[in-house]
Amino acid sequence: MAEIVGAEGAIGLDRKRSAGKNRFGKGHMTTFYRERITCQNCGKASEHHRLGSSYQSGSPDLDTRPPELVRSTLHAEVEACPHCHYCAVDISSPAADAAGCVRSEVYQKQFKSPEYPPLANAFLCNAMIQEGIANFAAAGWASMKAAWACDDAEQSAAANKCRVQAVELFRKALSAGQTFADQLGAEDAMLVDLLRRSGQLEEAAKQIEMGLSKRPEEIIVQALKFERALIAGRDFGCHTIQEAWDGQ
Ligand SMILES: [Zn+2]
């Protein structure tokens, strides 16, 4: 089965396979529940909407962003404490050594930055914490999700900055021996898309050749060749893995 496997799990390509399949629970809908939780950074309580179940049908984007309905649950992938502004996937879980970072001026400035939508700021704050503890792969993922939040808010300049940062952090991850996607060539494919969508076309073209030289499986080859065509057409837009597969 052709699929791009990200660090956060397998993302299927085949529509027949993904249609009706539910990553989180039953039913073709998304459910949330409210929970009052205690922040592990400051010890204060706040209420949050947490994801109960969701459903996805169709193809992920070239950068592995899932299709609807999971696509619209992005806001549930990061929590922000309203008291101290600690941002994490789960602020009630034992925190990494984040206190110093959260207290810092640069962190608090990022949390309220008018340059980004609030959801992107939360992901970027989480990225700052992860980078601080040298978890560059998680910091890269958080930066890429910040870009998705900017895409949704139609803030393209902010999205570009997030993608540039995601590339830097993913490359730091690779230098540090950390993986951010398991499938051979998937990391190259993700980097190519981040580079293309942030306008770094020459870098993207080089990364395509690096990816192809690893002789990855066919779906990755098709994604990389599709990216090559998008670069030739100076297309900086969002495209799906299904489009790459259909274009072979
Ligand atoms: Zn807090």
* ∠ Cα 241 246 247 (to 5°): 100
**Residue 248's pLDDT band (cuts 50, 70, 90):** low
**Residue 247's pLDDT band (cuts 50, 70, 90):** confident
Dihedral of alpha carbons 44, 106, 127, 30, sign: positive
Distance between Cα 135 and ligand 1 center (Å): 21
Is the predicted pLDDT of residue 133 greater than 50, yes or no?
yes
Cα–Cα distance list, 108 to 48, 98, 102, 121, 124 (Å): 20, 13, 7, 10, 11
Is the predicted pLDDT of residue 4 greater than 80, yes or no?
no
Overall pTM > 0.75? yes
Q: In the prediction, which pLDDT does 1 show?
A: 38
- Nearest Cα to 86, choosing from 47, 59, 131, 126? 126
Distance between Cα 44 and ligand 1 center (Å): 6
Instruction: Give the environment of ion ligand 1: residues with CB less than 5 A.
Output: 39, 41-42, 81, 83-84, 86
Distance between Cα 46 and ligand 1 center (Å): 9
Average pLDDT, stretch 178-204?
Answer: 97
